[in-house]
């Protein structure tokens, strides 16, 4: 029935649009055929077996219709026979995912239906779509954006958050204002803006005699200053007292705490040089549209965006020990207490000038990054009743450190090489709440050789030395671009240093992609360890699996 309604809407909109307005959209389908793999053992020496429904596909068809200041859109989604592994099981079958109607002029923008929005950095509120991760936390309701002058933008919104093909019972409402002060003060070379946000979540609880209010309030203030080569920005967020959820679905009526976040960022840049530093402190700042959802493994019902502020590595082995931001409260035992994180990162980019001794004829590019994250220090009470009190500028146990440097050298029009070194510390016990600490070093060398106009070969070699956990790895990738439309690749990651002999796995895969205009088709076979994978010039995040996969995407 639903599909008939969609079809009717689509056909009528096409017929209509040929005379009035424009239809545009996109289609994307990610399919996997999971296979049994006797050679790929888990920690209990069991071979990998495919799930009950081995052929699975996530598909999205988005259509947008625009006529003068009006636009309307609909997204149909299909998860057949089921959603891909590691995706939210609430995504099942074929249905309408999102729809909206929007009126937009220069001063006012009104949306009804599903919409995406972000306040400031997103630490208080962000709704977005990430198909590779299975996130779509759009709000269903209404939003008004009002720009009475060029220096003032105000937003007001109200709605329920999407979860699977349904929405949550809680109500979300928010307000955001941003003023460009530099425009009012007529600064010529400086941009200065201030922002303020409010976000409320009203969720009734089934708990008897709750010690917390059904309405949780979030406030945020931010400042951005940009003076040519120098810039600084800051944001502070506060979430009112609410029940702490340490384990998903367990609302603790005896531990009622507020949350906060402080973000400070500054940088300086000039020709061929840029530096940026970020400091962030987060305490109990997870925010979900339903309290009990906190910590669920699908990012379902998530309302804010707390990214890990580390370098997003693009090599295979550098994506094995990936830090995840730690906004949550855990009072497990005296060695495992968390209430948030504190730390920062520094990035430096530098280009050695062409024609100098090191720069050579084509110059040389250097990028370095350092990040370090610790738990918050404070006093933690584990029993009767549980509680904690944190220090504002106190560093507790270390979670993660990453130092990395990358050098890109173009030798001539045909050859280019990239060398990188990464040194990491990963506290697995504190981050994953299991055991162990891992120190690792990763060396990577890659080179690209261009034969003819668009024919090239790229070879990457990687090695990871680790003192614990899965220990040493080696990896190699060969990518062959026949022309700008067709690419093939083959890659293998080998965990040769694993202490357990049956876990010394090869994660091999090979495949190809074909691209023409807005369309891309890719076919891969092999074992996927998970992480960011780039093939034929395209990058995406993929979860671990074994089997055959096909991806189709296009826009029109």
- Omega before 385 cis (within 30°)? yes
Stretch that binds other proteins, among 32-40, 466-474, 497-505, 517-525 (CB under 8 A): 517-525
Task: Check binding of 523 to other proteins (CB under 8 A).
Answer: no
Residue 49 CB partners (closer than 8 Å, separation 6+): 36
C-alpha to C-alpha distance for 462 and 459, rounded to whole angstroms: 10
- State yes or no: residue 374 binds other proteins (CB under 8 A): no
- Site for other proteins contains 350 (CB under 8 A): yes
Whether residue 338 has a cis bond before it, omega within 30° of 0: no
How far is residue 447's CA from residue 415's CA, in Å, rounded to a whole number?
Answer: 7
> Which residue stretch of 81-89, 254-262, 423-431, 447-455 sits at the interface with other proteins (rule: CB under 8 A)?
447-455
d(CA 91, CA 299): 13
By CB under 8 A, is residue 447 in contact with other proteins?
Answer: no
The span from the CA of 202 to the CA of 212, in Å, is: 12
Which residues contact residue 418 at a Cβ distance below 8 angstroms, ignoring those fewer than 6 apart? 406, 407, 408, 409, 444, 445, 446, 447
Span 412-441, contacts to other proteins by CB under 8 A: 416, 418
CB 106 within 8 A of CB 78: no
488 forms part of the interface with other proteins (CB under 8 A): no
Q: Does 515 bind other proteins (CB under 8 A)?
A: yes
Strands (E), 35-138: 37-41, 47-48, 55-67, 70-80, 93-104, 108-115, 117-119, 125-127, 129-130, 135-136
Q: Considering the complex, what minimum distance in angstroms separates the CB of residue 532 from other proteins?
A: 7
Binding piece for other proteins, criterion CB under 8 A, among 208-216, 261-269, 387-395, 433-441: 261-269
Q: Could you say whether residue 365 binds other proteins (CB under 8 A)?
A: yes
Residue with smaller CB distance to other proteins, 49 or 190: 190
Query: What are the tokens at 545?
Result: 């699996």
3-state helix, strand, coil in the chain (%, to 5): 5, 60, 30
Window contacting other proteins (CB under 8 A); options: 76-84, 166-174, 294-302, 330-338 = 76-84
The window from 45-53, 202-210, 287-295, 535-543 that contacts other proteins (CB under 8 A) reads 535-543
The pair of three-digit structure tokens given for residue 182, joined into one six-digit string: 């530099």
Round to whole Å and give the CA distance between 274 and 382.
45
Q: How far is the CB of 143 from other proteins (least distance, A)?
A: 13
> In whole angstroms, how close is the CB of 304 to other proteins at the nearest point?
10
The single residue among 74, 79, 129, 380 that binds other proteins, judged by CB under 8 A, is: 129
Are 547 and 35 in contact, with CB atoms under 8 Å apart? yes
Q: Which is nearer to other proteins, 243 or 367 (CB)?
A: 367
**Nearest approach, Cβ of 441 to other proteins (angstroms)?**
21
Q: How far is the CB of 46 from other proteins (least distance, A)?
A: 34
Binders of other proteins among residues 99 to 118 (CB under 8 A) are 104, 116-118
How buried is 554 (Cβ within 10 angstroms: 0-12 exposed, 13-18 middle, 19+ buried)? middle
Residue closer to other proteins (CB basis): 215 or 534? 534
Segment 137 to 176, residues that bind other proteins, using CB under 8 A: 150
- Between 90 and 272, CB nearer to other proteins: 272
Among 250, 254, 434, 519, binds other proteins (CB under 8 A): 519
Q: 164 with 135: CB under 8 angstroms?
A: no
Our measurement of the distance from residue 478's CA atom to the centroid of its chain's CA atoms, rounded to an integer in Å, reads 27
Residues in the chain: 556
Residues 377-406 that bind other proteins (CB under 8 A): none
14 binds other proteins (CB under 8 A): yes
Q: Regarding beta strands 152-163 and 129-130, do their DSSP bridges make them parallel or antiparallel, or are they unpaired?
A: unpaired
Residue 502, SS3?
A: helix
Single out the residue of 223, 217, 200, 191 nearest to residue 120, CA to CA: 223
Q: Is residue 24 part of the contact set for other proteins (CB under 8 A)? A: yes
Strand 336-338 and strand 330-333: the pairing is antiparallel
Residues 459-478 that bind other proteins (CB under 8 A): none
Select 351 or 469, whichever has its Cβ closest to other proteins: 351
Q: Find the binding residues for other proteins in span 37-66 (CB under 8 A).
A: 59, 61-64, 66
Site string for other proteins, 287-326 (x = CB under 8 A): ------------------x-xxx-xxxx------------
Reading the block at residue 550, the tokens are 């096909």
Q: Which is nearer to other proteins, 228 or 434 (CB)?
A: 228
Q: How far is the CB of 314 from other proteins (least distance, A)?
A: 5
How many residues interact with other proteins (rule CB under 8 A)? 102
Strand partners, 491: 477, 509
If binding is defined by CB under 8 A, does position 184 make contact with other proteins? no
Please give the residues from 210 up to 239 whose contact with other proteins meets the rule CB under 8 A: 224, 226, 229, 231
Residue 13 CB burial class (10 angstroms; 0-12, 13-18, ≥19): middle
Is the Cβ of residue 7 or residue 207 nearer to other proteins in the bound state? Answer: 7
- Contacts (CB under 8 A) with other proteins, residues 265-284: 265, 267, 269-276, 278
Q: Which is nearer to other proteins, 343 or 396 (CB)?
A: 343
12 binds other proteins (CB under 8 A): no
Selected from 194, 262, 443, 534, the binder of other proteins by CB under 8 A is 534
Cβ pair 91, 129 in contact under 8 A = no
């Amino acid at each position: 029935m639903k599909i008939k309604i969609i079809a009717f809407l689509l056909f009528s909109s096409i017929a209509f649009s040929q005379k009035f307005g424009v239809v545009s959209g996109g289609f994307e389908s990610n399919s996997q055929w999971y296979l049994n793999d006797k050679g790929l053992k888990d920690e209990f020496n069991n071979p990998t077996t495919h799930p009950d429904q081995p052929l699975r596909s996530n598909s999205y068809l988005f259509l947008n219709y625009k006529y003068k200041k009006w636009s309307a859109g609909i997204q149909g989604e299909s998860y057949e026979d089921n959603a891909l592994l590691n995706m939210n099981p609430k995504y099942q079958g074929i249905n309408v995912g999102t729809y909206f109607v929007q009126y937009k002029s220069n001063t006012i923008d009104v949306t009804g239906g599903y919409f995406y929005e972000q306040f400031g950095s997103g630490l208080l509120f962000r709704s977005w779509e990430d198909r590779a991760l299975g996130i779509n936390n759009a709000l269903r309701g209404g939003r008004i954006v009002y720009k009475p002058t060029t220096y003032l933008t105000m937003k007001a919104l109200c709605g329920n958050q999407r979860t699977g093909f349904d929405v949550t019972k809680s109500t979300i409402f928010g307000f955001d204002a941003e003023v460009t002060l530099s425009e009012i003060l007529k600064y010529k070379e400086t941009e200065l803006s201030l922002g303020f946000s409010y976000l409320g979540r009203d969720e009734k609880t089934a708990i008897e005699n709750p010690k917390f209010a059904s309405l949780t309030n979030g406030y945020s203030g931010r400042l951005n200053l940009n003076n040519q080569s120098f810039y600084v920005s800051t944001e502070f967020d506060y979430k009112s007292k609410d029940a702490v959820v340490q384990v998903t679905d367990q609302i603790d009526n005896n531990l009622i705490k507020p949350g906060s976040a402080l973000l400070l960022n500054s940088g300086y840049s000039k020709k061929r040089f840029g530096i940026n530093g970020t400091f962030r402190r987060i305490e109990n700042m997870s925010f979900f549209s339903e309290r009990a959802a906190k910590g669920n493994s699908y990012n379902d019902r998530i309302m804010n965006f707390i990214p890990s502020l580390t370098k997003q590595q693009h090599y295979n082995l550098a994506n094995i020990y990936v830090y995840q931001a730690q906004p949550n409260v855990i009072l497990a035992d005296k060695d495992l207490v968390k209430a948030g994180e504190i730390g920062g990162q520094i990035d430096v980019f530098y280009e050695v000038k062409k024609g100098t001794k090191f720069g050579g004829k084509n110059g040389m590019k250097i990028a370095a990054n350092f990040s370090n994250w610790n738990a918050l220090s404070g006093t933690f009470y584990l029993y009767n009743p549980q509680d904690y009190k944190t220090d504002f500028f106190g560093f507790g146990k270390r979670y993660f450190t990453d130092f990395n440097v990358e050098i890109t050298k173009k030798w001539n029009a045909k050859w280019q090489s990239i060398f990188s070194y990464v040194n990491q510390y990963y506290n697995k016990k504190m981050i994953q709440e299991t055991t162990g600490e891992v120190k690792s070093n990763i060396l990577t060398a890659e080179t690209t050789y261009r034969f003819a106009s668009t024919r090239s070969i790229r070879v990457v070699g990687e090695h990871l030395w680790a003192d614990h956990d899965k220990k040493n790895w080696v990896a190699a990738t060969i990518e062959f671009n026949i022309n700008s439309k067709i690419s093939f690749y083959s890659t293998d990651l080998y965990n040769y240093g694993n202490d357990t002999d049956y876990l010394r796995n090869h994660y091999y895969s090979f495949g190809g992609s074909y691209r023409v205009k807005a369309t891309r088709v890719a076919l891969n076979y092999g074992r996927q360890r998970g992480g960011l994978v780039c093939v034929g010039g395209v990058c995406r995040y993929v979860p671990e699996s074994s089997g055959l996969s096909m991806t189709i995407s296009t826009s029109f």
